[in-house]
Structure 1
Amino acid sequence: FYSVYKGGANTWSFGGEYLQTYKPYGAKGRIPVAQFTGEVGYNLHLLSDYSQTFHLYGGVSALGGYETVNWGKQLLPDGSIIQAEDAFIYGGAVTLSADIYLSDHVALGAHIKERFVFGNDTGHFLFAYGLHLKYQF
Structure 2
Amino acid sequence: MLDLHGVTGVLYYYGTNDLANGCDATRILRSYREVFQRLHAAGIKVYVTPVTSRPGYTDQNNLDRHTVGSHVKKRNSCDGTCDGVMDFDQVLKDPLKPNSINPAYDTGDGVHANIAGQRALADYVSLPMLLSSTAHH
Is the structural similarity TM-score above 0.5?
no
TM-score category of the 2 structures, normalised to the smaller one: under 0.3
Select the structure that is richer in helix. 2
Question: Which fold has the larger relative contact order, with Cα–Cα distance below 8 Å and residues 6 or more apart in sequence?
Answer: 2
User: What TM-score comes out, normalization by structure 1 length?
Assistant: 0.23
Select the structure that is richer in strand. 1
Structure 1 or 2, whichever has the larger Rg, is 1
User: What TM-score comes out, normalization by structure 2 length?
Assistant: 0.23
